[in-house]
């Protein structure tokens, strides 16, 4: 369940890979809806478990995620998942952001008025999805993705609704 939660949070971060994106520190808030109360409760519990990790384990997890340019997911004010990600100038020019997804992923982005239509497929673990990203200038966006995650217990459907906002031109230094 933690893998699903983190994968969906990281997927939400992909929305910053846009036609107009500022380099720097971005904050993403994602709300995941599965339509299954038991799964939604398990995801909330997994997020609570991440917050309650023993200090040593938490430090290891934070360091691993920081190496990939993202922060530890935490509960947002609206019941969503909030995290930050750093986009370097080189990444912005390639329309790329840091993701900590397992597996090999391919994506397709089609420009439409005001944003992008996005589709992706990942293997090991298998997941796929599609959705729409809408820009609000070069420092904010909204996104809705429909995701299927095959976590070993069968396919799980989820809708991820995200908002992103640019925080600053500088990012915290990554650990070496």
Question: In this predicted structure, what is the pLDDT of residue 168?
Answer: 94
What are the tens digits of pLDDT across the range 42-91?
777 877 787 788 888 888 888 877 776 677 777 776 778 888 888 888 87
Query: What would the mean pLDDT of 111-136 be, rounded to a whole number?
Result: 86
Q: Does 122 map to a domain?
A: yes
What are the tens digits of pLDDT across the range 8-20?
444 444 444 445 6
Is 7 or 112 the better-scoring residue by pLDDT?
Answer: 112
Question: What backbone phi and psi angles, to 5 degrees, belong to 141?
Answer: -160, 165
Is 146 or 111 the better-scoring residue by pLDDT?
Answer: 146
Q: How many domains does the chain have?
A: 1
Going by DSSP bridges, is the β-strand pair 81-87/104-112 parallel, antiparallel, or unpaired? unpaired
pTM of the model: 0.72
Q: Does 104 map to a domain?
A: yes
Q: Does 83 map to a domain?
A: yes
Residue owning tokens 């997890």: 61
Q: Does 176 map to a domain?
A: no
Which residue segment(s) compose the domain that 62 sits in?
2-168
Q: Which two tokens stand for residue 12?
A: 């939400």
**Residue 153 pLDDT > 80, yes or no?**
no
Question: In this predicted structure, what is the pLDDT of residue 146?
Answer: 95
Question: 45 Cβ partners below 8 Å, 6+ apart?
Answer: 1
Q: Does 175 map to a domain?
A: no
Residue owning tokens 């997804």: 101
């Amino acid at each position: 369940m933690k893998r699903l939660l983190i994968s969906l949070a990281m997927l939400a971060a992909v929305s910053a890979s846009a036609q107009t994106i500022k380099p720097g520190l971005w904050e993403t808030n994602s709300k995941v809806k599965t339509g299954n109360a038991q799964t939604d409760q398990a995801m909330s519990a997994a997020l609570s478990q991440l917050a309650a990790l023993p200090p040593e384990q938490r430090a290891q997890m934070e360091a691993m995620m920081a190496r990939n340019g993202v922060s530890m997911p935490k509960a947002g004010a609206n019941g969503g998942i909030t995290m930050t990600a750093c986009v370097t100038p080189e990444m912005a020019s390639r329309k790329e952001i840091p993701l900590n997804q397992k597996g090999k992923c391919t994506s397709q982005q089609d420009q439409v008025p005001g944003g992008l239509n996005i589709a992706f497929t990942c293997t090991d673990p298998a997941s796929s999805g599609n959705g729409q990203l809408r820009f609000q200038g070069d420092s904010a966006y909204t996104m809705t993705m429909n995701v299927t995650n095959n976590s070993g217990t069968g396919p799980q459907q989820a809708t991820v609704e995200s908002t992103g906002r640019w925080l600053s031109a500088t990012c915290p230094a990554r650990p070496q």
